[in-house]
């Protein structure tokens, strides 16, 4: 059972990059669920300036914004426990079961945010309930992307595994883009007073509808043959995490380091850039959200190209190229966002985001090929979420704090370049996995 059913299919299926009908259904189910999850998780960041006025009352707007981003970061500390929990379910009871619960839990948490009374009504309890709802989001998100990529990688032919998994990562960008579009629509169609008074709740309440749609689509998916093979041969381990830590510790460290740019760079160039353009660049909310939408569109286009290249020339060259470009372009792009001409400032986040997407396009296929089937879900979840916890969710907070404490408008670019350097160095120690059959 080292190979998926599609790897034993006709040679024509191996030779073509375009997914078969069955493979397309698997990718579609994974992508739709991921869109819902990352819309829910991202809308908080895009609505940060509104949330700060309702749940973090302070005479200092910067302190209120820091409080909002602190709650944003706290959720990421729940991603690792969430990844362990859902990784256990996915590796022991099936990928499909875990993915069903992640989307349901995320929809409930996000809908609760839209229903919460504000600080003016409940005082500090409103802040507490918001933070708890955000933590529930983080717990659910911990099992989503790792599970969806495990699911797709086990259905994909080895020759085109990066291309197939790159489409799943498109779901994260599309979800974030949908969240950004919602924020842009609200701030464009409605007055600032209307958005502040009641309309900020709409994006959160919409999650209930999106969650039900995603749940319905995922219910029609079949379990992977890789996991079914483990069940049939009685090779499902009792506690996957223990098996992972016993034999896969080196791979987990590699995943953590390789993911530095993917996580830290992602939240700096997409979520935080909207705030930076407004607070440091003096741009309007409409301008900021338009810039993030452009960046996310560029990312969606880049991901499958990167995945295709990763399947053609290898994962390692793509990792090195994307992270090296991020190191070189980090500071210049922030200079444009902070004080550059309007046209250049509008596209600067997209340039940074393309660098992140180049690396991200080959990342999860590489992770899947590094880990064995019996603990693949747990391994990807643990490695990816530890990186998210350390330098992903904290990225907007650190960036805001750097500007506040140093007074340097370019301080956030230092953090972006730092993340890129970690990934670049780790890439040189990566063993090429292109075309590798998945191990049991």
pLDDT at 14 over 70: no
Is residue 323 assigned to a domain?
yes
Q: Looking at the domain assignment, is residue 12 inside a domain?
A: no
Cα–Cα nearest to 126, from 51, 70, 17, 65: 51
Confidence of residue 191 (pLDDT cuts 50, 70, 90): confident
Pseudo-torsion of CA 415, 421, 427, 428, nearest 10°?
-170
- The answer to whether residue 402 is domain-embedded is yes
| Confidence check: pLDDT of 5 > 60 | no
Q: What is the pLDDT of residue 2?
A: 41
pLDDT at 17 (0 to 100): 60
Given pLDDT bands bounded at 50, 70 and 90, which one contains residue 57? low
Per-residue pLDDT band at 369 (split at 50, 70, 90): very high
3 — pLDDT class (breaks 50, 70, 90):
very low
Q: What is the mean pLDDT of residues 72-98?
A: 88
Is 223 or 252 the better-scoring residue by pLDDT? 252
Residue that is written with structure tokens 């098996």 in the block: 243
The domain total for the chain is 1
Domain contains 160? yes
What local confidence, expressed as pLDDT, does residue 7 receive?
39
pLDDT exceeds 80 at position 335: yes
Mean pLDDT, range 354-373, rounded to an integer: 96
In the Cβ-directed half-sphere of 87, how many Cα atoms lie within 13 Å?
30
- Closest-CA residue to 55 (of 167, 168, 178, 200): 200
pLDDT over 80 (residue 410): yes
235-255 pLDDT, tens digit per residue, is 888 999 999 999 889 999 999
Instruction: Report the distance separating Cα 93 and Cα 355, nearest Å.
Output: 37
Residue 256 has pLDDT above 90, yes or no: yes
Q: What is the mean pLDDT of residues 290-295?
A: 89
> Alpha-carbon distance 43 to 75, whole Å?
13
- Mean pLDDT, residues 135-141 taken together: 89
- For residue 60, the model assigns a pLDDT of 65
Residue range 129-142: average pLDDT? 89
Query: Which has more confidence, 45 or 192?
Result: 192
Whether residue 1 has pLDDT greater than 50: no
Q: Return the percentage of the chain with pLDDT > 90, whole number.
A: 43
Range picked from 8-12, 283-287, 425-429 for highest mean pLDDT? 425-429
Q: What is the mean pLDDT of the chain?
A: 87
- In the structure, what pLDDT confidence band is assigned to residue 9 with cuts at 50, 70 and 90? very low
Tokens of 1: 């059972």
Q: How confident is the model at residue 4 (pLDDT cuts 50, 70, 90)?
A: very low
pLDDT over 70 for what percent of the chain?
93
Residue 91 lies in a domain: yes
Note the pLDDT of residue 15. 54
pLDDT value at residue 284: 87
Q: Does residue 180 carry a pLDDT above 90?
A: no
| pLDDT, position 26 | 85
* Mean pLDDT of the 209-231 span: 85
d(CA 381, CA 88): 10
Residue 366: predicted pLDDT: 96
**Domain assignment of residue 270, yes or no:** yes
Can you tell me the distance from the alpha carbon of 401 to that of 246, in angstroms, rounded to the nearest whole number?
A: 38
Mean pLDDT to the nearest integer, 116-122: 84
What number is the average pLDDT over the span 306-311? 96
- Whole-structure pTM value: 0.85
Given a cut of 70, whether residue 140 has pLDDT beyond it is: yes
Candidate from 45-59, 98-112, 341-355 with smallest mean pLDDT: 45-59
Mean pLDDT for the stretch of residues 257-270: 92
Q: Name the band, by pLDDT with cuts 50, 70 and 90, for residue 59.
A: low
Q: Is residue 440 part of a domain?
A: no
Does residue 3 lie within any of the structural domains?
no
pLDDT at position 11 is 46
Domain extent, residue 47, equals 22-428
pLDDT of residue 18: 65
- CATH number of the domain bearing residue 208: 1.20.1250.20
């Amino acid at each position: 059972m080292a190979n998926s059913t599609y790897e034993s299919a006709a040679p024509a299926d191996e030779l073509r990059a375009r997914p078969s009908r069955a493979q397309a259904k698997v990718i579609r189910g994974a992508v739709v669920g991921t869109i819902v999850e990352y819309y829910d998780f991202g809308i908080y960041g895009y609505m940060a300036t509104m949330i700060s006025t309702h749940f973090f009352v302070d005479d200092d707007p910067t302190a209120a914004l820091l409080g909002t981003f602190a709650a944003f970061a706290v959720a990421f500390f729940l991603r690792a426990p969430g990844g362990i929990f859902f990784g256990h379910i996915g590796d022991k009871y099936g990928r499909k079961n875990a993915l069903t619960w992640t989307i349901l839990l995320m929809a409930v948490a996000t809908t609760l945010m839209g229903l919460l009374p504000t600080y003016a009504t409940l005082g500090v309890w409103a802040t507490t309930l918001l933070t708890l709802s955000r933590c529930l989001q983080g717990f659910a998100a911990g099992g989503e992307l790792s599970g969806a990529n495990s699911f797709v990688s086990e259905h994909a032919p080895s020759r085109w595994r990066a291309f197939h998994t790159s489409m799943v990562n498109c779901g994260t960008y599309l979800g974030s883009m949908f969240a950004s579009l919602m924020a842009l629509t609200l701030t464009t169609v409605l007055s600032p007073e209307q958005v502040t008074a009641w309309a900020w709740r709409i994006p959160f309440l919409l999650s209930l509808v999106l969650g039900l749609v995603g749940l319905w689509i995922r219910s029609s998916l079949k379990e992977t043959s890789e996991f079914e093979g483990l069940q049939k041969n009685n090779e499902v381990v009792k506690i996957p995490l223990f098996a992972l830590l016993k034999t896969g510790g080196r791979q987990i460290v590699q995943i953590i380091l390789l993911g530095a740019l993917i996580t830290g760079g992602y939240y700096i160039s997409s979520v935080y850039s909207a705030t930076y353009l407004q607070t440091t660049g003096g741009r309007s909310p409409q301008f900021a959200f338009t810039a993030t939408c452009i960046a996310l569109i560029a990312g969606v286009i880049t991901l499958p190209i990167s995945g295709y290249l990763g399947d053609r020339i290898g994962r390692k060259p793509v990792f090195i190229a994307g992270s090296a470009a991020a190191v070189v372009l980090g500071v210049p792009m922030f200079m444009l966002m902070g004080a550059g001409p309007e046209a250049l400032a509008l596209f600067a986040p997209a340039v940074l985001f393309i660098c992140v997407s180049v690396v991200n396009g080959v990342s999860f296929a590489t992770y899947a090929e590094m880990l064995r089937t019996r603990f693949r879900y747990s391994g990807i979840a643990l490695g990816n979420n530890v990186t998210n916890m350390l330098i992903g969710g904290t990225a907007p907070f650190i960036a805001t704090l750097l500007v506040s404490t140093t007074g340097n408008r370019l301080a956030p670019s230092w953090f972006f370049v730092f993340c890129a350097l970690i990934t670049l160095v780790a890439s040189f120690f990566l063993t090429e996995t292109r075309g590798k059959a998945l191990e049991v």
